Amino acid sequence: MEAVAPVGTSVPRVDGVAKVTGRAQYLDDLDAADAWHGATVRSQVAHGVLEAVDLDPAFDWSQVTVVTSADIWGRNSILLLEEDQPALAPIGGKVMHKDEAIALVAAPTRALAFAAAKHVRPRITPLPAVFDIREALAGAQILYGSDNVFKQFVIRKGHASDAELEAAFARAAHVIEGDYFTSPQEQMYIEPQAMMAEWRGATCLIVGSMQCPYYVHKAMKHFLACDADGVVITQAVTGGGFGGKEEYPSMIAAHAALLARKSGHRVKILYDRDEDIAATTKRHPCWTHHRLAIDDRGEILAIDVDAVMDGGAYLTLSPVVLSRGVLHAAGPYRCAITRVRGRVIATNHPPHGAFRGFGAPQTTFAYERQIQKLARLRSEDPLALRHRLALRVGDTTSTGQLLEFSVGTDEVLGAIARVAGPAPARDGVNQHGAPVKRGRGVCFYFHGAGFTGSGEQRLAGRAVVAAVDGRFEVRSSSTDIGQGAITMFSQIAAAALGVEAHHVTVVDPSTAQVPDSGPTVASRTCMVVGQLVERAAGVVRGKLEAWAAARGVRGSLHDLARAYADVERRELAEIISYEPPPGIRWDDATYTGSAYPVYGWAACLVDVEVDLDSYEVHIARCVQAIDIGKAINPTIVKGQIEGGTLQALGWAVLENIVYKDGKVANASMTNCIVPTFADAPDLETILVEVPYPFGPSGAKGVGEIPMDGPAAAVANAVEDALGCAFDALPISPEAVGKARAQWEQK
Amino acid sequence: MSLGRGNPIAMKITLEVNGAPRTVEASPWKRLLDVLRDDLRLTGTKEGCGEGECGACTVVLDGEAVNACLVAIGQCGDRKVTTVEGLAHGEALHAVQRALVTCGGAQCGICTPGIAVCAAHLVDHKLITGDDTATARAKVRELLAGNICRCTGYQLIVDAVIAAARELEAR
């Protein structure tokens, strides 16, 4: 028996050496000296009618290809959930937001392409634009449907009518009510969006930076009006995604394909950083109104939430983001009567879209601020209060889902309590000699792993494990975007096969050679696709062993695979499709039942130091304890948690997108800032493993959960330090300064 | 030399890249980053922002870590440049590269070459030691603050850089 690199050990990343030596080939590193460069002409008007696209007659167009909506022979829409978003604003039709794509140019050099783009002149007749969600709700301008509501949900538990809900509030000893605002956030992957297209006969070949090859495939089939073989999508090494390369790459693929077809050249589109920040999707800003009814014993009688998100100008993934937001909005707390309402609204902002956490960070911020206010009201220890109210096995969630297993509440809260230590002294002086106020905040939260409701069943993801020429291959469309998917898959497959990890190759995701395993999103890659890989590997092992037994062949599985290849002269491949775990029931009409197959559970502790001269909030300490079921590769899991945690801390105190008249006013890394090494505290990470019976080796999702909680923990800590509430993000020096009159009195 | 208007005249410029003399014919205004990536096909140096904020294009120019997107090739004549391709000796990785792999300091990897170049420069010049105290870690953070990573939260990179410094000290 060969040694196995077991699941649960931190084997080095498969792609580690390629990345530290600079050999990994991202899209712009591919040898493509012959490729032309594409550039995008964008609207500087937020809402209007595109009358015409004129070309500057003084410019030399002889070496430039220009494409407008008139060149689209298929369907002018980027298909995802709906068909409302065009690839290029239609001439004679509407422009819906600033920086919307209107025309494209391609030229032999990037410099010429960008110069030419400046000489394309859209003629737009402006219409009144709407940027405020309240104005959009009031119907100032109708941008979508009849009421600007892209999607709404109402989830009810324990009451039949609004009157019954209000009766519960009337019975309450205390009602805690608040409005919470979270800001838009840029993913800021360090590799900007990048895509290349080439036509070989009637087949379009797309390679690029992306999370979801089959999303691009679906959109391109629709856009090009071709069948499944008419377009091949291949992921290049991808320099970060965080949701930002979930839906938008389909748009750039469409653009590159148009330019390549018309110019007759391979065409590469690389976004400038400024363009990427201005035009591509960001986290939905959200306004959450939250009410808690509390009885005289401090139990939660009723929860009522109303969350409103700004979807921007097109629907994109907004209904699904809203869904995750509302499904998490009541929080991981016991409560018999809950109502959660959610709406996502059309405005003339550039579309908001997928970003790690996907709606849950917004509503988590609201409920964890509310729970903190409850702790202050009752003068109860914040951790003890959460421990007292938290969901456990046997309880039901806001959708009526009975929690039967893998609830890590006690483990994560206990882990934080054990390491917390004494709270920092309130008053002090920092290293710059400035007076500071210190405070501590905690939060407790959960995150559903995998797709919502019946999503996984509808998707029916597939993965293949194959014995090929004495080696083993994993074929799936799950991409490695830095999160370690290929390393994790090779560990899962190797363990199930009983071979060394280096005998397993994870095939590069291309729609020509891997099945559709579903998108690389929703914390589903390890739990859902990893489980398909584990099952497929188990079947391949069984079949190889049976084949060998029938022929008296002995040896390791690796030896058997070699013998099989020698004798049979073909591969032994097993394709496995998703099957829901037992007991999953979900009703899309009432939004009740098993919202997710399982949840991750987490607790976070943050100590802050507020500089009373500069008003900066310094994160002095951050501890996260997260129940992820099983860490397939603990170092990789730790890296996922710490990366998500810092994105959340950045969102809490320094990241922001500033819109001015519908345009991103800070579209540059100089003023759209993210945390640097110097901004980040040392991060303390505690891995908690309460196994999920239907995940690979017990694993649940990990990618998103660390993003959900820390912002609330920071706000709770700042409230502890200064004695006044901070209910909007970011808690920037400007925000602390504005609240000065409040905290100076404390 | 053109002052940035019209078509600047291409010049022959010789510089030392990773220990070997290289001559390029380029406008003196061309960014060192583009010369490395396009003329010399050393694509390990990455572009993340093009304005000196992210540090993905960090190279060492005559003993100083710089952003190659902010350096014109005209400034580089007869000077020495080290890129990520110059860190390893054949298949033998630099201690910083090895530690980034073993400690989990690389995720998506697009910032990694810049961080590896900067950190290798710092540990080679003993500006970072193997101490793992809070003060020492704060110093690592200060010295690497010009390199942005969006994946890791920096913790495992700091671990890796200190581990590499410790390994070099032990030699």
- B78 CA to chain A: closest CA distance, Å? 25
Say if residues B46 and B111 touch (Cβ distance below 8 Å).
yes
Window A:683-702, CB contacts with B under 8 Å: 683, 685
What residues have CB less than 8 Å from A200, skipping those under 6 apart? none
Question: Binning pLDDT at 50, 70 and 90, where does residue B171 land?
Answer: confident
- Report CA-CA distances (Å) from A153 to A289, A591, A723, B16: 15, 8, 35, 63
Whether A16 sits inside 8 A of B100 (CB atoms) is yes
Residues of chain B with Cβ-Cβ distance to A22 below 8 Å are 42-46, 83-85, 112-113, 116
Partner residues linked to B51 by β-bridges: none
What residues have CB less than 8 Å from B82, skipping those under 6 apart? B17, B18, B59, B60, B117, B121
The pLDDT of residue A312: 98
First to last CA, chain B: 49
- The SS3 call for residue B13 is strand
Q: Does B100 touch chain A (CB under 8 A)?
A: yes
Which residue of chain A has the CA closest to B47? Answer: A191
Question: b/e map of A512-532 (b: 16 or more CB within 10 Å)?
Answer: eebbbbbbbbbbbbbbbbbbb
Residues of chain A with Cβ-Cβ distance to B128 below 8 Å are none
- B60 CA to chain A: closest CA distance, Å? 15
Whether B148 sits inside 8 A of A674 (CB atoms) is yes
Whether B151 sits inside 8 A of A240 (CB atoms) is yes
Q: Tell me the per-residue pLDDT of A302-315, one tens digit each, with 9 for 90 and over.
A: 999 999 999 999 99
Window A:296-315, CB contacts with B under 8 Å: none
How remote is the C-alpha of B73 from its chain's centroid?
16
- A677 CA to chain B: closest CA distance, Å? 5
Residues of chain B with Cβ-Cβ distance to A241 below 8 Å are 108
- Cβ neighbour number for residue A273 with a 10 Å cutoff: 22
- Please provide the DSSP assignment of A441-489 as one string: EEEEEEEEESSSTTHHHHH--EEEEEEETTEEEEE-S---SSS-HHHHH
For residue A436, report the phi and psi dihedrals to the nearest 5 degrees.
-130, 155
Integer-rounded Cα Rg, in Å, for chain A is 26
Whether B93 sits inside 8 A of A20 (CB atoms) is yes
The pLDDT of residue A10: 96
Partner residues linked to B142 by β-bridges: none
Which residue of chain B has the CA closest to A645? Answer: B153
Residue appearing with tokens 């079921």: A629
3-state percent breakdown (helix, strand, coil) of chain B, nearest 5: 40, 15, 45
Window B:35-94, CB contacts with A under 8 Å: 37, 41-51, 53-54, 56, 83-85, 87-88, 93
First to last CA, chain A: 69
Tokens of residue A540, six digits: 């391949």
Which residue of chain B has the CA closest to A487? Answer: B107
- A230 CA to chain B: closest CA distance, Å? 30
How remote is the C-alpha of B115 from its chain's centroid?
6
DSSP annotation of A69 reads G
The pLDDT of residue A452: 87
Of A12, A238, A642, the CB nearest to B102: A12
Whether A20 sits inside 8 A of B112 (CB atoms) is yes
Which residue of chain A has the CA closest to B88? Answer: A21
Whether B106 sits inside 8 A of A19 (CB atoms) is yes
Partner residues linked to A572 by β-bridges: A467
- The SS3 call for residue B12 is strand
The pLDDT of residue B2: 39
Say if residues A69 and A76 touch (Cβ distance below 8 Å).
yes
Residues of chain B with Cβ-Cβ distance to A681 below 8 Å are none
- Cβ neighbour number for residue A415 with a 10 Å cutoff: 21
Strands A286-294 and A174-182 come out as antiparallel
- Please provide the DSSP assignment of B67-136 as one string: EGGG-BGGG-TT-EEE-GGGTSBTTB--HHHHHHHHHT--SS-SSHHHHHHHHHHHHHTTSS-S--SHHH
- From CA B45, how far away is CA B22, in angstroms rounded? 17
Say if residues A349 and A384 touch (Cβ distance below 8 Å).
no
- From CA A85, how far away is CA A147, in angstroms rounded? 18
Which residue of chain B has the CA closest to A480? Answer: B108
The pLDDT of residue A6: 82
Residues of chain B with Cβ-Cβ distance to A641 below 8 Å are 153
Cα dihedral A712/A713/A714/A715 (nearest 10): 50
Residues of chain A with pLDDT under 70: 1-5
- From CA B158, how far away is CA A691, in angstroms rounded? 31
Mutate to test the interface with A, among B40, B85, B89, B154 (most CBs of A within 10 A): B154
Which residue of chain B has the CA closest to A684? Answer: B155
- From CA A162, how far away is CA B139, in angstroms rounded? 57
The pLDDT of residue A367: 98
How remote is the C-alpha of A179 from its chain's centroid?
24
Which residue of chain A has the CA closest to B142? Answer: A678
- From CA A205, how far away is CA A654, in angstroms rounded? 40
Q: With the C-alpha atoms ordered A721, A727, A729, A732, is the resulting torsion angle positive or negative?
A: negative
Residues of chain B with Cβ-Cβ distance to A240 below 8 Å are 107-108, 110, 150-151
- The SS3 call for residue A289 is strand
- A180 CA to chain B: closest CA distance, Å? 26
The pLDDT of residue A745: 81
Tokens of residue A483, six digits: 């999160």
Tokens of residue A644, six digits: 């998500």
Whether A13 sits inside 8 A of B101 (CB atoms) is yes
Cα dihedral A200/A204/A208/A211 (nearest 10): -150
Task: Provide mean pLDDT across the span B107-112.
Answer: 98
Q: Does A703 touch chain B (CB under 8 A)?
A: no
- From CA A686, how far away is CA A507, in angstroms rounded? 32
Strand order in the sheet with A504-506: A504-506, A471-475, A462-468, A572-577
Of B98, B113, B140, the CB nearest to A22: B113
Tokens of residue A674, six digits: 């993210």
Strands A617-627 and A683-688 come out as parallel
**What is the identity of the amino acid at A556?**
S
ipTM: 0.97
Cα dihedral A36/A40/A41/A47 (nearest 10): 160
DSSP annotation of A333 reads B
Q: Does A655 touch chain B (CB under 8 A)?
A: no
**What is the identity of the amino acid at A343?**
R
Strands A36-42 and A267-270 come out as parallel
Q: Does A244 touch chain B (CB under 8 A)?
A: no
Partner residues linked to B23 by β-bridges: B14
Whether B51 sits inside 8 A of A240 (CB atoms) is no
Whether A645 sits inside 8 A of B153 (CB atoms) is yes
Say if residues A316 and A243 touch (Cβ distance below 8 Å).
no
Window A:250-289, CB contacts with B under 8 Å: 272-273
Strands B11-17 and B80-82 come out as parallel
Number of H helices, E strands in chain A: 20, 28
Mutate to test the interface with A, among B46, B51, B102, B150 (most CBs of A within 10 A): B150
Closest listed residue to residue A489, CA positions, set A474, A499, A500, A510:
A474
Question: Binning pLDDT at 50, 70 and 90, where does residue B7 land?
Answer: low
Tokens of residue A438, six digits: 């210190």
Say if residues A208 and A195 touch (Cβ distance below 8 Å).
yes
Task: Provide mean pLDDT across the span B87-104.
Answer: 97
- Cβ neighbour number for residue B171 with a 10 Å cutoff: 5
- From CA A670, how far away is CA B49, in angstroms rounded? 9
Whether B134 sits inside 8 A of A682 (CB atoms) is yes
Residues of chain A with Cβ-Cβ distance to B134 below 8 Å are 682
